[in-house]
Amino acid sequence: ENGYNLWLRYKPVNSTSLKTEYRSYLNQIYFPSESDRLKAALDELNLGLNGLIGIKPQLLVRAQGSSVIATSNKIGALKKWVPDSVLKKIGNDGFVIKTINQAGRNVLLVTANSDLGILYGTFYLLKLMQTGKTLSGLDVVEYPRTMVRVLDHWDNPNRTVERGYAGFSIWNWHKLPGYIDSRYIDYARANASVGINGSVLNNVNASIQMLTPAYLVKIKALADAFRPYGIRVYLSVKFDSPIELGGLKTADPLDPEVIKWWKIKTDEIYSYIPDFGGFLVKANSEGQPGPQTYGRSHADGANMLGNALAPHHGIVMWRAFVYDDKVPDDRAKQAYNEFKPLDGQFNANVIIQVKSGPIDFQPREAFHPLFGALPNTSVMLELQLTQEYLGFSTHLVYEAPLFKECMDADTYRQGKNSTVARILEGVYNPKLITGMAGVANIGTDVNWCGHPFAQANWYAFGRLAWNPQASAAAIADDWLRMTFSSEKVFIDPMKREMLQSRENTVNYMTPLGLHHIMGASGHYGPGPWTDNMGRADWTAVYYHKADTAGIGFDRTKSGSNALGQYSPEVQAYFGNLNTCPDEYLLWFHHLSWQYKMRSGKTLWEEMVHHYYAGADSVKKMQQTWNSLRPYVDQERFSEVQQLMAVQYEEAIRWRNSCVLYFQTFSRQPIPVGYDRPEHDLAYYRSLRYPNVPGQGVN
Ligand code: BDP
């Protein structure tokens, strides 16, 4: 196995009793499939059942037999089992799966309001069988808690991928529109299986080429291929397109010519793609043009595009990832400062896309202060699946715990328990659009994501966008069963490793709240010494602020007071050294090397301890993996084994580099009991990574 089939492998069910049960339900089914979407669902069911239990079900012409899979207007007498209140609750995308005992006979019912709901319900049913669940006594009511569930591809027209570590872009622009690679269909299947309903095809550092007719026909071809799977396409657009593409003198969002240009361009896009999703915009950030270039606000810019999209029901996803080194303030504060005053000024079809933390997808950040601070504005969460700051596709890092840490954070903006997740679900303002975006980790590698375990991050993103309350452990459990094996002796230890993997990486990279100390530009290995990047906020020293007195970024009142952007409860929690968790210590505080930690160790000793524990835990993970050889196919076993060996080497390198570098400030010995680094600091500083993939703008 090479990993191509992701979590949709449909391997034969081992248990005889389950096999018998599944067959008894699914031998004969009523599954009307007059639309492309329903055909896609039925094809998937056939594929799955063939693999899982070796049958091709007989299709009935009426709502009878032991399985009925149809929209609620086609289920005849079974309708009485599905109250209108439930149908209302599941909305357009949800579904119901119920085992009904009717006149002594069990009937499996999958129903929904729409064909899309049936597609999602079919994937759910297949998941139940893939994970070895009984189909008896089911009473499932599922519906997504967010509306816009999109992957953001940072793919360029030349097929390079910014921060992409899985080969080249899967969009073969040259062969489109004539050639539809079967990979596009498998991509759409995988997305639909977890409820992802949109795909932003190109990099936020956008090329204007995407808006040219030559590309629009290609984009239309992708949109047509994805449509049966409920996936809409979106485009990242460059704010200056009216100048660069349209030949206008300005891109001022209030200029009538500019307004007209975008309206005509938008209408043109919809003439190709009637269900086009809308635009994603990175404006006035990292050199990208934006409305501020013309003295206008983010709201002016976003609303202008929103007006062009509104007649077609499209949306604007406007990114809050803005910072400017000309602003003489903590980078962590800038997005809040720019967006908070604009609350309530955005059009109804504009949603602000906010990264999990205020810096940039670090292994650990405090949650972004904009969550909860914009009660009258639609806000979506942007997560990064591609492991830009997490060891690329060589390190095994299951990101769901990182995502959950942000989503479970309590903003206190609407009282206790107003978590980021609840804000994302639109609990506090039902008028708003809701959504989640994941920066994709997908490329041309045969296993899609570069590392066999990186697929889990794509999977987990979809599951969490569907239900932000889902647990990282339950998602890992399902993914492992479907991707590798359902054997308990495999699942238990490997799930533990997955759940621990992010913390391991934090430990050997950025423990105790450290951040942004990776190698310059490439963002792969350690670079705590980086101090010369042309602008301070791209260096490492800006963030760790180590000196002989201590280390850490003081974001309390005595420092940048970024903490002041949170609710009073959160300020009190992080601001007080008695309550601030160790994990966030140096994110918010600058402390002396002698500072006494809860463990009784000094800060220096504690830091060293974390670096060593992080590297050791990778060794332990290798041992676990080696012990699981009997449960994994040879090819993937060996791939993961090799990658873990690289990860271990890298973890040691991170550890030694950081410990030796910070030691130049702490002037303390490495405590006894820890191995001495093999080389001196000069050696680690001299190391280079040639040909780092996925280079970006900074
Ligand atoms: C950073 C990346 C950069 C992206 C930027 C963004 O280093 O390549 O362009 O984020 O999100 O993480 O726009």
Question: Residues near ligand 1 with C-beta < 6 Å?
Answer: 162-163, 204-205, 282, 286, 321, 360-361, 388, 696-698
How do residues 71-120 score in pLDDT, each as one tens digit? 999 999 999 999 999 999 999 999 999 999 887 889 999 999 999 999 99
Q: Residues 252, 360, 405, 425: which is the catalytic one?
A: 360
Integer Cα distance of 642 and 395 in angstroms: 11
With b meaning 16 or more CB within 10 Å and e meaning fewer, what string describes 251-280?
bbbebeebbebbbebbeebbebbeebbbbb
Do 136 and 153 fall within a single domain? no
- State the DSSP H helix or E strand holding residue 391, giving kind and residue range, or none if neither: none
* Structure confidence at residue 601 (pLDDT): 98
Integer Cα distance of 317 and 589 in angstroms: 33
Show the tokens assigned to 663: 């030691």
Active site residue 286: yes
Sign, Cα dihedral of 442, 443, 446, 450:
negative
Q: Is residue 2 part of a domain?
A: no
Q: Choose one of 383, 388, 521 to mutate for the ligand 1 pocket test, by most ligand atoms within 8 angstroms of C-beta.
A: 388
CA of 388 to the centre of ligand 1 (A): 9
Do 414 and 536 fall within a single domain? no
Among protein residues, the one whose CA lies closest to atom 3 of ligand 1? 696
Q: Residues 1, 186, 257, 286: which is the catalytic one?
A: 286
**Given 416, 442, 470, which residue is the final one in a domain?**
470
Do 422 and 325 fall within a single domain? yes
Domain count, the chain: 3
How do residues 122-170 score in pLDDT, each as one tens digit? 999 999 999 999 999 999 999 999 999 999 999 999 999 999 999 999 9
Do 26 and 70 fall within a single domain? yes
CA of 696 to the centre of ligand 1 (A): 7
Beta-ladder partners of 438: 151, 383
Do 293 and 406 fall within a single domain? yes
CA of 697 to the centre of ligand 1 (A): 7
CA of 165 to the centre of ligand 1 (A): 14
| Amino acid letter, 54 | G
Do 162 and 266 fall within a single domain? yes
Do 435 and 362 fall within a single domain? yes
Do 94 and 191 fall within a single domain? no
Ligand 1, residue 162: give the atom nearest the CA.
Answer: 8
- Sheet containing 67-71: give its strands across: 58-60, 28-30, 67-71, 105-112, 95-102, 139-142
Do 173 and 276 fall within a single domain? yes
For residues 511 and 614, the answer to whether their CB atoms sit within 8 Å is: yes
Active site residue 360: yes
Q: Is residue 9 part of a domain?
A: no
Interface TM-score (ipTM) > 0.90 = yes
Q: Choose one of 160, 319, 321, 515 to mutate for the ligand 1 pocket test, by most ligand atoms within 8 angstroms of C-beta.
A: 321
Strands (E), 11-114: 28-30, 58-60, 67-71, 95-102, 105-112
Do 310 and 422 fall within a single domain? yes
Angle in degrees, CA 607, 613, 615, rounded to 5: 110
Three-state secondary structure call for residue 152: strand
Do 102 and 52 fall within a single domain? yes
**Given 470, 498, 530, which residue is the final one in a domain?**
470
pLDDT less than 70: residues of the chain: none
* Structure confidence at residue 696 (pLDDT): 85
- Using alpha carbons, select from 235, 232, 270 the residue that is nearest to residue 116: 232
Active site residue 388: yes
- Its domain, for residue 510, covers 506-553+590-686
* Structure confidence at residue 103 (pLDDT): 79
Do 543 and 663 fall within a single domain? yes
- Using alpha carbons, select from 117, 102, 14, 61 the residue that is nearest to residue 485: 14
CA of 235 to the centre of ligand 1 (A): 17
* CATH number of the domain residue 615 falls in: 3.90.1330.10
Integer Cα distance of 688 and 653 in angstroms: 12
- Using alpha carbons, select from 514, 500, 530, 486 the residue that is nearest to residue 632: 486
* Structure confidence at residue 151 (pLDDT): 99
Integer Cα distance of 600 and 577 in angstroms: 14
* Structure confidence at residue 104 (pLDDT): 85
Ligand 1, residue 203: give the atom nearest the CA.
Answer: 9
Integer Cα distance of 639 and 647 in angstroms: 12
Q: Residues 162, 300, 388, 425: which is the catalytic one?
A: 388
For residues 442 and 172, the answer to whether their CB atoms sit within 8 Å is: no
